[in-house]
């Protein structure tokens, strides 16, 4: 049947030749998935079981990234989310209901803390915060209605390394699930499932992306029971990730090993150098004995990454600490981390009893891919200006 040119725009008869093979995975964009016949139409989220049904649940690009993250983490299945915070929210909405209780470390990523206190409490879910170094003693904090125990190891900003296996054993004895934010270890330097964790999440924005140019998250689980719960919540919350961002993440995975190796070497060398400086009271790098929980890092981790914190001597004022950050030239000031550019952010713990007594003296550093000697020179000139 001859077609009008307007119809040919939608239903073309001309196509590119087949047989193209590339090292780069294809980027599949699409909302509508075509079915072969009327009887085949169904709205099912589990595309591993029934095939592709709707773009919201993932295109081949999204599921390719999920499969690769799952393989690296030694998990059962992985879901991709539009960001790390979306991954955190997805887990909570999948497993919690009114009347439940969760335990969260005091060192947790701040948006996770805010989500637990402000949003979950509106739904009748109570959050309690525990010292990140509690270990097996967390058993005394568990309640009959405790459903989730969150871990983040090392902790955000203060970098405490947790005894995750001991926490997991105590939680499982009480029937609670253990969830880990495994972003610092990039999902590869800490084998969460081998250490008793039930569900992990990562901000793929960070080390998997590695270039500070997209937002993505992942949720990986150890078994089918968790997969079914998270899958339903993923469908109903509409956690669709951009296939274009997934393509960038797939590209980032190919260079992850070489980036991590370079970053680990530079970060550890700079941490050791900073530890010897007279202005510095404490270096909070998990691979150094000065970091709380260092013994668990040595036991459980296979490598370190580029984020650590420094604590200045007590006689230095808040203005001096801010001047140190402001006078850096190669280190930029900004949230997030794990990109190629080094970052520095000053924090103030104030007098909060739930955080270590670092006050205004703590600065978190992210080491990027600049030459380590140039970064050291930048730190040195800014430390000298503090005086």
List the chain domain ranges.
45-250, 255-386
Q: Which of 200-204, 287-291, 351-355, 369-373 has the lowest mean pLDDT?
A: 351-355
Domain at 255-386, CATH class: alpha beta
The pairing of beta strand 362-366 with beta strand 307-312: antiparallel
Q: Percent of the chain having pLDDT more than 90? A: 95
What is d(CA 179, CA 196) in angstroms, rounded to the nearest whole number? 10
- pLDDT computed for residue 121 by the predictor: 94
Mean pLDDT of 272-280: 98
Number of helices followed by number of strands (H, E) in the chain: 11, 11
Mean pLDDT of 289-314: 98
Q: Percent of the chain having pLDDT more than 70? A: 100
Interhelix angle 372-386/243-275, rounded to 10 degrees, is 60
pLDDT tens for each residue of 326-384: 999 999 999 999 999 999 999 999 877 788 999 999 999 999 999 999 999 999 999 99
pTM above 0.85, yes or no: yes
- pLDDT computed for residue 387 by the predictor: 79
Nearest-CA neighbor of 287 among 198, 360, 190, 194?
190
Residues 207, 305 contacting (CB under 8 angstroms): yes
Residue in the block written with tokens 């049904």: 53
Range 45-250: architecture per CATH: 3-Layer(aba) Sandwich (3.40)
Average pLDDT over all residues of the chain = 96
What does the DSSP 8-state code read for residue 16? Answer: P
Mean pLDDT of 144-169: 98
Same-fold call for 45-250 versus 255-386:
no
The backbone region for 93, taken as left when phi is positive above 0, alpha when psi lies in -120 to 50, beta otherwise, is alpha
Say if residue 60 is exposed, middle or buried (CB neighbours under 10 Å; 0-12, 13-18, 19+): middle
The angle at the Cα of 232, spanning 227 to 236, to the nearest 5 degrees, equals 145
Asked whether residue 2 carries a pLDDT value surpassing 90, the answer given is no
In sequence order, what are the beta bridge partners of 202?
A: 218
Residue in the block written with tokens 């699409």: 30
The pairing of beta strand 101-105 with beta strand 77-81: unpaired
- pLDDT computed for residue 1 by the predictor: 77
């Amino acid at each position: 049947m001859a077609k009008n040119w307007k119809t040919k725009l939608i239903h073309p008869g001309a196509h590119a030749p087949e047989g193209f093979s590339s090292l780069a995975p294809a980027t599949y964009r699409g909302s509508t998935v075509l079915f072969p016949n009327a009887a085949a139409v169904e709205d099912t989220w589990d595309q591993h079981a029934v095939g592709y049904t709707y773009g919201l649940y993932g295109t081949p690009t999204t599921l390719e990234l999920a499969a690769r993250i799952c393989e690296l983490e030694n998990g059962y299945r992985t879901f991709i989310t539009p960001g790390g915070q979306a991954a955190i929210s997805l887990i909570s909405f999948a497993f919690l209901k009114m009347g439940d209780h969760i335990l969260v470390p005091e060192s947790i990523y701040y948006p996770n803390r805010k989500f637990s206190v402000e949003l979950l409490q509106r739904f009748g879910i109570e959050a309690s915060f525990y010292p990140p170094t509690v270990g097996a003693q967390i058993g005394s904090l568990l309640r009959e209605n405790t459903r989730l125990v969150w871990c983040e190891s090392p902790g955000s900003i203060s970098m405490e390394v947790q005894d995750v296996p001991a926490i997991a054993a105590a939680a499982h004895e009480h029937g609670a699930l253990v969830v880990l934010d495994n972003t610092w270890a990039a999902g590869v330097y800490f084998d969460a499932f081998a250490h008793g964790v039930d569900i992990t999440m990562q901000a793929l924005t960070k080390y998997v992306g590695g270039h500070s140019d997209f937002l993505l998250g992942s949720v990986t689980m150890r078994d089918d029971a968790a997969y079914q719960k998270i899958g339903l919540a993923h469908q109903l919350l509409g956690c669709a990730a951009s296939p274009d961002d997934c393509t960038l993440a797939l590209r980032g995975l190919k260079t992850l090993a070489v980036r991590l190796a370079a970053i680990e070497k530079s970060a550890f060398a700079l941490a050791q150098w900073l530890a010897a400086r007279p202005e510095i009271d404490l270096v909070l790098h998990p691979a150094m004995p000065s970091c709380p929980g260092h013994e668990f890092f040595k036991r459980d981790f296979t490598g370190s990454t580029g984020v650590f914190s420094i604590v200045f001597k007590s006689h230095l004022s808040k203005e001096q600490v801010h001047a140190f950050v402001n006078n850096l030239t190669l280190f930029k000031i900004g949230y997030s981390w794990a990109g190629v550019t080094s970052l520095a952010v000053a924090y103030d713990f104030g007098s909060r009893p739930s955080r270590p007594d670092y006050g205004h003296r703590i600065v978190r550093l992210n080491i990027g891919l600049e030459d380590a000697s140039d970064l050291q020179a930048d730190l040195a000139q800014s430390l000298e200006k503090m005086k």
